[in-house]
Structure 1
C-alpha cells in the first residue's frame, strides 16, 4: 500500500480539477487532498505550468472572463466563472493576478474581491473608503511563503502640484481582514502608472511600470517603497491604449519584453541590486504576419505571446512564438472585442484558497 508521503507526491502533480474529483472518492483521500502541505506543494508546481491566458478589461466587462489556450491541442477550456457571492455584478473589472488568484472589482455597487477560478473561492474585501482615481492595485500571493495568506496593496497618487506629488500605500491582509495605511511614501512625477500593465511580485515586492519612466516597487513585508531605474531603451511607451512592454518573472529573474521597430526584445534583470539589465533575445516579429503594431502579453522563457493589431482596431489577433524552435504559431482570432484597457493574466490551475 502506498504511504502518505508517496501519495502526496503523486497527488501534488495532478491538476486541480482532478483533485477536486478525487476528494469525493473516500474520507481518507478527502483528508489527504485537504492537507495544507499538499495544497501548498500542488500550488507551487501549478505556478510553473501556465495553461493559457485570461483576458478581461481593467475598466469594465460583461460579467465574464475570456480564456485562450497556448497550445492548439490543449484540452477543453477551463471553467473561468468566478462563483461570485450575491448580489451578482453587472460588470467585472480585472485589476490583477498573482500565482492563480485574481483581484477584481465588481459593480454596482462597487466591491473588491480576491478569487480563485479553479476552486470558485472568493473573498470580499472591506471597503477601502478612498476615491479610486489615480489608484493602482497589486496582489501578493506566494504559496511557498504565505501558505493560504495573501495581501493586496493599493497605491494612490496624491497630487501636490501639477508636476509633483507622492504615492500612499494601503495594505490589506487576509489574516487580519482589514485595510490600513502604511507609513511608506515615495515622491512621484506627473507620469502615471500604466493602466493596462498589472503588478508583478518579485523579491518580496510588488512592481508597477510607470509611463515612459521607471518601475515603482513596494516591499510587502517590510513596507518600504523604492524606484527601479530603467535604461533609456527599456522605458515603456503607450501606443493607442496599449503599452509596448511586458514585465514578469521568468526562471527566478525579472524580465521585460518590449516591442520595438517591428522586433520583440527580451531583457533580463541579471542583478536586482545593481539594476543591471541584459538583452537575451531579439525576435523578428514580422514572421507572424502583417500588422501595424504588436503588444507582448506573456513570456515564460520558452514562448512569447503577442496581441497583434492591424491598421484598424478590428484587425487584431494573438500570435505565439516558440523561442527555441524559432517558429511562429498561426495567429488566432479571439472571439472577444479588443476594448479599451484590456488586461491579460496567466491562467494557473491550483487548489489553494
Structure 2
C-alpha cells in the first residue's frame, strides 16, 4: 500500500486506540518503522486524555487457579477473571511487558500482550540455589531494552552475600553474576520489586531495602528508616506481614507503614539516600483490638496511594483513595476476590528482543504459544476461557 504523506498518516494513527495503531503496522514498512519507534509511543501517550491502566494478579484456590484483571481507566472500574494454568506464574510487569515463569518448560518468558511478541529465557541458576526474588526493569520509552535480575542467598566461608544474576536484552545469552555482602539475611516482604530511576528496589520485612542499579550493574543496601522505630515506640507496631509496603506513587518511591494508630507515608530522596515522612494518616484498615491488618495498599499512578479494605464476613474489599488535597480518604467501588501481589499493566509498544529458541521441544513451544495467545486475548480484549470455548463451539 502506498502512503505518500507519512507525517499525516502518523498524526492520524497516533490518535487511534493503541491496539488499533498496532494493526496499522501491516500497511507498509515505513509505517511499521514509525509505529515501532519509542518516539511514536511518546506522541501517542501525550495525546491520550486517560490512558488505560490495569491491575493483573493471580488467585490460587484449592480446586483451581484464576487470572484476574481490574481495569481502572476508563471509569467505571471493571473486574473480570478467567481460568489460569497452575504451572504458570506472573513474576513482574513493567512498562508494558510482563514476565512469566513457565515452570513446565523451566523457562522465563518476556511477553508484550499488545503486540504478541515474546521471548523465552533459560533459568540462570542451578536448582540447588535458593532463589528469593526476581526483578524486571524495562526502560521503555527512554530506550527499547529490558533487564532481568534475580536474587539468591549465598554463604561462602562464613560470609553472607546476596547473589545477583543479571541478563540484559542487549546480551540475551549471558547471565552476569554480581554479589553484595550483608550482615544477615532478612526475609523479603511480599511486595513486588519496584523499578524507579534506573534501579530495582526490593523491600525487606524490617523496612530496609536492597537496591540494584541496572545501569551501573551494582547493588547497595538502604538501611531501615529511623522513623519506623519512633512510630513503633509511640503508636504500636503491627507485625502481620502486611504492615509495610513499597511502591511508586506520583512518580516517587514511596514507603507505606501501617501502625496500630496511624498509616505513615514516606518518600525516598535518591541524592541524600534518606526517607522523609510526608503524611501521617488515621489507620482505618486494622482491627484496633488485635492489630490485625484487614487490607493492603495498591498502587494507582494518578493517586498518592490507594488501599483495599476487607469487608467483614465477605470476600469483598472496599477501595479507599487517599487525597492529599483534602488530607482524607475517598471511598470507591467494592472489589471481588482480591489477592496480592498485584501488578500494574499499561499497554505499550515496548519491543521484545526475539532470539532463536534453544533446548525447547516443539510441543512445548506450541503449548507456550497457545497459553500466550489466551493471555493476550484476556488482557487486551477481555476474553475469558469460557467465552473462548463458547465461540469455538459455535
Are 1:280 and 2:281 counterparts? no
Which TM-score applies when normalising by structure 1?
0.77
Matched, 1:94 2:93: no
| Between structures 1 and 2, the one with greater helix share | 2
Aligned to 1:306: 307
- Name the residue aligned to 1:18: 20
2: CA distance, partners of 1:75 / 1:331:
8
Q: Partner of 1:85 in structure 2?
A: none
**Conserved 8 A contact 2:53-2:346:** yes
Cα deviations by residue, 1:163-216 (Å, 9 ceiling, x for unpaired):
x6111111112232124232443325131222x211112232111011214110
The one of 231, 256, 268 equivalent to 2:225 is 231
| 1:293 match | 294
Show the counterpart of 2:375: none
CA distance in 1, matches of 2:272, 2:61: 36
Structure 2 residue 143 is the aligned partner of structure 1 residue 146:
yes
Between the aligned partners of 1:329 and 1:32, the Cα distance in structure 2 is 44
Once the two structures are TM-superposed, the CA of residue 53 in structure 1 deviates from its matched residue by 1.3
Residues 28 and 170 of structure 1, relative CA distance in 2, 3 Å threshold: closer
1:52 maps to which residue? Answer: 54
Q: Is the 8 A contact 1:297 1:305 kept in 2?
A: yes
Query: Do residues 198 (structure 1) and 192 (structure 2) align?
Result: yes
Contact 1:90 1:107 in 2 (8 A): no
Q: In the TM superposition, what is the alpha-carbon distance from 1:316 to its structure 2 partner?
A: 4.5
Q: Counterpart of 2:164?
A: 169
Partner of 1:350: 348
Indicate how the Cα distance of structure 1 residues 79 and 124 shifts in structure 2: closer, same or farther if over 3 A, else same: farther
| Corresponding residue of 1:320 | 320
Moved more, 246-255 or 202-211: 246-255
1:118 aligns with 2:114: yes
1:208 aligns to what?
202
CA change 1:308–1:75 in 2 (3 A) is closer
Which residue of structure 2 aligns with residue 106 of structure 1? 102
CA distance in 2, matches of 1:228, 1:234: 14
Q: Which deviates further from its counterpart, 185-194 or 34-43?
A: 34-43
Residue segments in structure 2 that go unaligned for 5+ positions in a row:
352-394
Q: Distance in 2 between matches of 1:197 and 1:14?
A: 35
Please report how far the alpha carbon of residue 33 of structure 1 lies from its aligned counterpart in structure 2 after TM superposition.
5.0
CA distance, structure 2, for counterparts of residue 347 and residue 302 of structure 1: 16
Match of 2:37 in 1: 36
Deviations 1:55-106 (A, max 9, x none): 126999966531113368348779999xxxxxx9642212222112111212
**Structure 1: how far apart are the matches of 2:249 and 2:8?**
29
Q: TM (normalized to structure 2)?
A: 0.70
With over 3 angstroms needed to count, the CA separation of the structure-2 counterparts of 1:11 and 1:184, relative to structure 1, is: farther
The number of residue pairs the alignment matches comes to 335
Counterpart in the other structure of 2:130: 133
Q: CA RMSD in A?
A: 4.1
Contact residue 79 and residue 117 of structure 1 kept, 8 A: no
Q: Deviations over 1:11-41 (max 9, x none)?
A: 44654223134446x4378436534244552
Gaps of 5+ in 1: 82-87
